[in-house]
Amino acid sequence: MRERSLKHTDMQQYNATEGVFEILTFAHEGKGGNIHKVSAEGKKCSCGKWRNYHMPCSHAIKFCDIRGIQPKDYVSKYYSCRFYKQTYSGNFSPLGDEAYWPPSPFSLIANTEYERTSGTRTTTRRRNEMDIAPARMARKCSTCKQTGHNKNRCPDRNQ
């Protein structure tokens, strides 16, 4: 993200009291040239990546570089070492062979309503006028250039 943020060109401050800024991306090969709104207080960017991934996007990193702020201060707490260790600190007991399982107090019955059957498949798609190819309806005879028949059934074929 740092490399991508270096390609962004400018920051235009438009609401300093709320901490909302505009970052202009560099235009190249028909891409870019967009303006993204970055809100430092709400940890949001108009691209949506900061909100979805809980870590600053390239636009937010550019904002941090210009303002002299560390981008790591805006990374979610769930990416910290403490939360990482909590995620994997639980015990895991693998299941043994099925022969050693205790007997279950219930039995499972399969629902055969949705079971596949052998034979031809039926489609549930409903056909409409879009399914009729217009090219097939307007086919022309290669001999007489008339529609409604082909070269094999042309009335002018034997003349």
More confidently predicted of 124 and 52:
52
107: Cβ contacts below 8 Å, ≥ 6 apart = none
Q: Please tell me the distance from the alpha carbon of residue 155 to that of residue 159, in angstroms, as a whole number.
A: 8
pLDDT digits 0-9 by tens, 71-129: 888 888 888 899 989 888 888 788 889 888 888 899 888 888 877 777 777 778 888 87
Q: Strand 35-39 to strand 44-45: parallel, antiparallel, or no bridges (unpaired)?
A: antiparallel
Q: What value, to the nearest 5°, has the Cα angle with vertex 98 and ends 93 and 103?
A: 100
Tell me the pLDDT band of 10, cut-offs 50, 70 and 90.
low
Q: Which of 71, 68, 74, 66 is nearest to 22 (CA)?
A: 66
Q: Collapse the DSSP code of 6 into the 3-class scheme (helix H, G, I; strand E, B; otherwise coil) and give the result.
A: helix
pTM: 0.48
Q: Is 61 exposed, middle or buried (0-12, 13-18, 19+ CB in 10 A)?
A: buried
Q: Is 118 exposed, middle or buried (0-12, 13-18, 19+ CB in 10 A)?
A: exposed
Mean pLDDT, residues 19-24: 80
